[in-house]
Structure 1
Amino acid sequence: MESPAEILPGVIFYSYLSSVKREKACVWNHHTLVLQVSGQMILETSEQNINISAGDVLLIHKNQLGTLTKTPGPSGHYETIVISLQEDLMRQIALEEKMESNGKYTGPQNLCLPNNAFLTGYFQSIVPYARSSGAEMTDELGLLKVKEGIKLMLLAVPELRNFLFDFSEPYKIDLERFMMSNYHFNVPVEKLALLTGRSLSGFKRDFQKLFGMPPRQWLQDKRLNEARHLIENKNKKPSLIYLDLGFESLSHFSYAFKKKFGKAPTEGLVKTD
């Protein structure tokens, strides 16, 4: 079985691994519900750092960037059940169940849900489908499971109604603040435009006006300047920082660094005995 495996295509997933793995530049287009079955996961965004372990339930807000660090537990296992609360599906549920928001959600973007017997039992009913490669979940059953999960979340945290059923389009957010917080994520410019509530052309136009250069050029310069600072002032090794700064490979990073500064990144390290 490949990881992640789809239990219900596009909606319910089972993720597992047997060694430490770091996922960079995760983009959540839809609200996402995560049960940590075993092991540990750390979610890092520009505003939050959340650590969850076996038995914890995490709700992740749509339209944001973040980094996931996945670590197996003492038994060597790492497992999660992930439910993608896709907007089309949420709209369908809102119509069928007569659910709607009654105000603007003002809480944290991502939050751990209170542990209770109802949510625990709910996820335990999905685990057998995850661990058995021969088990199949029909679309009808999958929709019922998603509805059940939503109702149990609202039972535990009623104010999540405004979190889950806000279908308004993303408004234009502060572009400078967003870019300064998220420049290190290696995602396409098209995705950055969407996350700031802009069309691609609008994003490029606003970006040029604000920063005086195209997005790709600014991103490369910003990442390289930060890399130089970390190498020369913090004595960080290039091999340990290039991924965190959004570069796809060490060779690409080294080439870009030398082209901009006229020397290899390793030349900036302070030698110690």
Structure 2
Amino acid sequence: MEYNAKYITEDIKLSCYEDRFFKSDIMFEHHMLIWFISGETKVVQAEGTYLFNKGDIFLIPRNQLATIINYPKDGLPHKTVVMHLTADWLCNYYDKVGVKPQTVVSAQIRHYNNHPLLESCLQSLIPYFEMTELPPNIAHLKITEAVSILRSIDPDIDSMLANFEEPGKIDLAGYMEKNFMFNMPLERFGYLTGRSLTTFKRDFRKIFDTTPQRWLTQKRLELAHYQFVEKKKKPVDVCYEVGFENLSHFSFAFKKHFGYAPTELLASGS
């Protein structure tokens, strides 16, 4: 995989993947505003799968688990402009405009395709990536412009951007049943459920009567089996969407668990 990134600051970058695809299971520490220049991205979250292409503009909220799969397309690399909206920056911004912290209403991905003001704002960043000396404070001004546009076109955006709460202790069983397909370190699962790693493991065993690693592997393989039987998906797609890192390990684990390989299951048609 050949990856290149150019930065205006650490919060604004031009990202480019030249190879066949790139896959990552991540938790978004910051809100991310993304404009697609070329390529394709599949974002798999607990509530659904999203597909983004050239020209799309979308905002991914922070503290969300997702599987990201980036593909080049039509002979062009996967290229995006990415703007991080950090909690510190947003806290200062909302303090200055007199908006108090809010309780989040919805933490789902938001789409802003074909909006001329927002596209113009993000497109105007392109020349800055080629400059060695930048105008003072340009990143702050551009992020301010983007957030101002978002607030003017999305009446509910403050409920997301002006929410600065960290995850509290929540129902562990419900959260894990919803998010088991994301290949996150256990420390991340603990953080997102409001627990230390030690408390997470202890509570997990009380609820599921097994270790997190064994439970996660079984749940991912069961989901893979369902995807093969009901959705007729290809092994290479299912492998990454259910939380495995490579196809050979996935196929080995699947056959060990079920007694037959994914290709055999698909060939049987059952």
In 2: Cα distance, 1:76 partner to 1:160 partner = 33
> Which range moved further: 211-220 or 232-241?
232-241
CA positional deviation for 1:14: 1.0
Shift of 1:38: 2.6
Structure 2: where are the runs of 5+ without partners? none
Q: What's the Cα RMSD here?
A: 3.2
Do structure 1's residue 182 and structure 2's residue 172 form an aligned pair? no
Q: How many residues align?
A: 268
TM (normalized to structure 2)?
A: 0.82
Counterparts of 1:71 and 1:267, CA distance in 2: 24
Percent of aligned pairs sharing the same letter? 33
Q: Tell me: CA distance 1:71–1:99, structure 2 relative to 1, closer, same or farther (3 Å).
A: farther
* Structure 1 Cα separation of the partners of residues 236 and 36 of structure 2: 30
Q: Distance in 2 between matches of 1:121 and 1:172?
A: 41
| Equivalent of 2:152 in 142, 155, 161 | 155
Q: Do structure 1's residue 10 and structure 2's residue 10 form an aligned pair?
A: yes
Q: Secondary structure at the match of 1:67?
A: strand
1:207 alignment partner in structure 2: 204
Give, in whole Å, the separation in 2 of the partners of 1:89 and 1:59. Answer: 16
Once structures 1 and 2 are overlaid, which stretch shifts more, 35-44 or 71-80? 71-80
User: Which stretches of structure 1, 4 residues or more, deviate above 6 A after TM superposition?
Assistant: 231-237
Is the 2:60–2:108 Cα contact (8 Å) retained in structure 1?
yes
Give the distance between the partners of 2:112 and 2:263, measured in 1 at CA: 48
Aligned residue runs from structure 1 range 130-169, under 5 A: 130=129, 132=130, 134-137=131-134, 140-169=137-166
Q: 2 CA distance for matches of 1:230 and 1:117?
A: 39
Partner of 1:221: 218
How far off is 1:136 after superposition?
4.7
Deviates more, 1:46-55 or 1:97-106: 97-106
Query: What pairs with 1:42-81 in structure 2 (closer than 5 Å)?
Result: 42-74=42-74, 76-81=76-81
Q: Which amino acid aligns with 1:28?
A: F
Contact kept? 2:16, 2:80, Cα under 8 Å: yes
Aligned residue identity for 2:89: L
Q: For residues 74 and 108 of structure 2, what CA distance do their matches in structure 1 show? A: 30
Match of 1:36 in 2: 36
- Any conservation in 2 of the 1:32–1:59 contact (CA below 8 Å)? yes
